[in-house]
Structure 1
Amino acid sequence: MTKSKEVFFKIWNHPVTNYLKSQWFFYCLAVFIVIARFAPDFARDDGLIKGQYSIGYGCVAWIFLQSGLSMKTKRLMANMGNWRAHLVILVMSFLITSSIAYGFCVAIKVSNDKNIDDWVLIGIIMTTTCPTTVASNVIMTTNAGGNDLLCVCEVFIGNLLGAFITPALVQMYTGSYPFQYGNPATGNGIGALYGRVMKQVGLSVFVPLFVGQVIQNVLPKITQAYLDFLKKYHLKIGSYMLLLIMFSSFSTAFHQKAFTSVSHVCIVFLVFFNLGCYLFFTLLAFLLARPWFIIKIFPEEPIYGECSKLYYYSYKIFRPFYYSKEDAVCIMFCAPAKTAALGVSLITSQFGDNKENLGKLLVPLVLYQSEQVLAASIFVNLFKKWIEKDKIQESKETNHMDLERGDYKAEIKGPDIIDSSLQSSLSSK
């Protein structure tokens, strides 16, 4: 090997270079955003490739087809029945996030800051009433080693209910002062909204997930060969599909002049406001997923008959609300996230033909989606180390116990050997 090649491989495998290579997702996203800016007609809704179908359905369907191929049916059904986790995520996703954002928007509106567009505030409210994202949280949860089965269940349940809950919340928040001007209560398009959302959730989430489960159980060898192929060549199908989904969202937003319809000051405000909200919601989700006081109140699992009935039944009811790290990671990715794939449909359908302010309404949603993906990508490594920390500790404890058992067996076996050798010597004499 020549000296130049040695230098090249040394630089290529340097820790800094490896870190830069690991950030390929952000480089590709930046390229796609530039393409969306100058050629929005390619991947936008009703564009050259009909992005709402080819990407909105096709890419999302591929993600959930692969989820169906890799997830065991019994475990998937078990997580579908985890009503406590679903309750926490749904309450956080729909009620807590939207009410906090509504409070901030009221404060901004009352301050009469002319730099913040009134319709952008409506867009913030509508964004926070949307259900959890369809694709990115599944990918991030899987990459972080969290409970991806629970995440898939939550995507299906959350987006199915979102078709009904989101319009109701929007009516509640915009039904009176100070946001009555943004109330889409004319009802135009609400009926069509339900049909479109049910069709999109069914065709892009439920059907491919079901097909993947069928293939996994009918053709297990072929399924395993496909998954091994992806693993061998480090093919991250989910991340590729997510890039295309974001590409389509940005293309639609640029085509509708979402970023040029408001001031630069408003855009800067939205960037920092969205990031702050996402980080705060993630912290809040962590506190809801692992409330410290539950461990303090219920430190040990009770044995029936050896403790009071109050403690026993209280433990059975409340202790499961302190989730494992794998479930907590799923909750932290699902609860703060907001979907753009269905969010655009939820917003545009509610306003029917009154779309003169649609670009302003979509700005918060598109920015929030991109920022949540960027922030979640950073959290992946942190959460992965957090989960692996327990596994390493458990492995050390197991090895330590095995060593102790080995020493104990040696102590037991030693005298037996001495006794047998003594008996043999005596018998020879």
Structure 2
Amino acid sequence: MKGLLARLNIDPYLLLLVGTVGLASVLPARGIWAGIAGGVADAGIALLFFLHGAKLSRQALVDGARAWKLHLTVAAVTFGLFPVLGLGIRAIPGLEPSLATGVLFLTLLPSTVQSSIAFTAIAGGNVAAAVCSASFSNLAGIFITPLLTALFITGQSQGFSADPVLTIAVQLLLPFLAGHFLRPWIGGFVTRNKKVLGTVDRGSILLVVYTAFGAAVIEGLWQKVTLGELALIAVLSLAVLAVVMVAGTLAGKALGFPREDRIVLLFCGSKKSLATGVPLAGVLFPAAQVGAIILPLMFFHQIQLMVCAVLARKLAAENERAAAAAPAPTAPAASA
């Protein structure tokens, strides 16, 4: 089964997400159980950000920070070009409002960390710079995404509120900083148990997805959203990804970045983080709206993984061909 999914470039985690959505659709948490599930999900998210902080290597950031021009370009694509595209899509007439908001919200999110670095490494890019760009994007996103959300979405209808800022600080930022400051003592444990703790990461997201979709189903989500609209979301996600990738490639060449840095821009600049987006959506939007709002993010998450997996392998093959075509180094002449 795993081999088939790998050949199809399908992330097995997507099947778990789909299964969680199905469970929430059939058996949503109600009454006291909704409160219990929400409390467990909140605790899981705090643990997730604590582990993210513990994983963040200061030395990797120092090593990669020298490429500041590259990092600013990645940030411009992530928090500049993407939101412009999201605003354009939200203006499309006839798109269900919560889904349109979801598309805009996903464009306001930071980049991923693990997959951006992994694809950069496979493609032969500047891994140290990718670590720095992706980590900076995620850290900045804790502040920038709520500000952009208030500017373009929630602030337009209800005014700015300090409540989401306080919730983000307590539930997301404080655990993140605590984990990072404790890294000298727990960093080795986190590295040795990466697979087990990765299960905690993903399990936390599944809990939030379950509670969010359960609340949305109770409010009539599947009576509002049609299969045609879901197909449109998939098409729009692919179109946004294509535009960003082409723009990033052209920008990297125009700015004179070496090939290794252009690969960083391609993969770090085109990603959007499910792991950060789901918790932030739970903080920034009413519970009944979160399920519909994160639907576009789930579509985009899988599409970006499939496309980037193909591109990374293609770039890796180009590296191998270039290495094979390069002339072999000549041995120094023997002295008489």
C-alpha contact (below 8 Å) 2:86/2:103 kept by paired residues: yes
Aligned to 1:26: 14
Superposed displacement of residue 241, structure 1? 1.9
How many Å separate the matches in 2 of 1:274 and 1:333?
Answer: 17
How many Å separate the matches in 2 of 1:102 and 1:34?
Answer: 30
What TM-score do you get using the length of structure 1 for normalisation?
0.62
C-alpha contact (below 8 Å) 1:140/1:376 kept by paired residues: no
Q: Does 1:157 align with 2:140?
A: yes
How many Å separate the matches in 1 of 2:193 and 2:171?
Answer: 30
Deviating above 6 A after TM superposition, structure 1's stretches of 4 or more consecutive aligned residues are: 42-45, 335-338
Aligned to 1:6: none
How many Å separate the matches in 2 of 1:155 and 1:128?
Answer: 14
Superposed displacement of residue 50, structure 1? 1.3
Q: Does 1:205 align with 2:179?
A: no
C-alpha contact (below 8 Å) 2:248/2:269 kept by paired residues: yes
- Give the direction of change, closer, same or farther, for the CA distance of 1:60–1:338 in structure 2 (3 Å limit): closer
Aligned to 2:305: 377
Q: Does 1:62 align with 2:62?
A: no
Structure 2: runs of 5+ lacking an equivalent? 122-129
1:192-341 aligned within 5 A: 192-212=163-183, 214-215=184-185, 223=188, 227=191, 235=195, 237-238=197-198, 241-257=201-217, 260-261=220-221, 263=223, 266-291=225-250, 295=253, 318-320=255-257, 323-334=261-272, 339-341=277-279
Higher relative contact order (CA 8 A, sep 6+): 2
- Give the direction of change, closer, same or farther, for the CA distance of 1:83–1:277 in structure 2 (3 Å limit): farther
C-alpha contact (below 8 Å) 1:45/1:51 kept by paired residues: no
How many Å separate the matches in 1 of 2:14 and 2:274?
Answer: 21
Structure 1: runs of 5+ lacking an equivalent? 1-11, 175-182, 298-317, 349-357, 417-429
Which structure has the larger Rg over C-alpha atoms?
A: 1
What one-letter code is carried by the residue in structure 1 that aligns with 2:328? M
Aligned to 1:305: none
Quote the RMSD (CA, aligned, Å).
Answer: 4.0
Aligned to 1:140: 115
How many Å separate the matches in 2 of 1:44 and 1:271?
Answer: 29
- Give the direction of change, closer, same or farther, for the CA distance of 1:286–1:246 in structure 2 (3 Å limit): same
Task: Summarize deviations over 1:140-171 as a string: whole Å, max 9, x none.
Answer: 22332452332111100122222323212237
C-alpha contact (below 8 Å) 2:11/2:302 kept by paired residues: no
What one-letter code is carried by the residue in structure 1 that aligns with 2:119? A
Task: Summarize deviations over 1:311-364 as a string: whole Å, max 9, x none.
Answer: xxxxxxx3249833134211111499981211221223xxxxxxxxx63x4344
How many Å separate the matches in 2 of 1:337 and 1:48?
Answer: 18
What one-letter code is carried by the residue in structure 1 that aligns with 2:232? F
2:98 to 108, 116, 120: 120
What one-letter code is carried by the residue in structure 1 that aligns with 2:285? I
Aligned to 1:302: none
Aligned to 2:126: none
How many Å separate the matches in 1 of 2:149 and 2:263?
Answer: 29
- Secondary structure of the corresponding residue to residue 35 of structure 2: coil
How many Å separate the matches in 2 of 1:82 and 1:195?
Answer: 33
Aligned to 2:81: 96
Superposed displacement of residue 371, structure 1? 1.2
C-alpha contact (below 8 Å) 1:37/1:254 kept by paired residues: yes
C-alpha contact (below 8 Å) 1:127/1:364 kept by paired residues: no
What TM-score do you get using the length of structure 2 for normalisation?
0.77
The alignment-based identity, stated in percent, is 8
What one-letter code is carried by the residue in structure 2 that aligns with 1:31? G
What one-letter code is carried by the residue in structure 2 that aligns with 1:208? G
**Structure number with higher helix proportion:** 2
What one-letter code is carried by the residue in structure 2 that aligns with 1:280? A
How many Å separate the matches in 2 of 1:38 and 1:277?
Answer: 28
How many Å separate the matches in 2 of 1:337 and 1:85?
Answer: 24
- Give the direction of change, closer, same or farther, for the CA distance of 1:89–1:267 in structure 2 (3 Å limit): farther
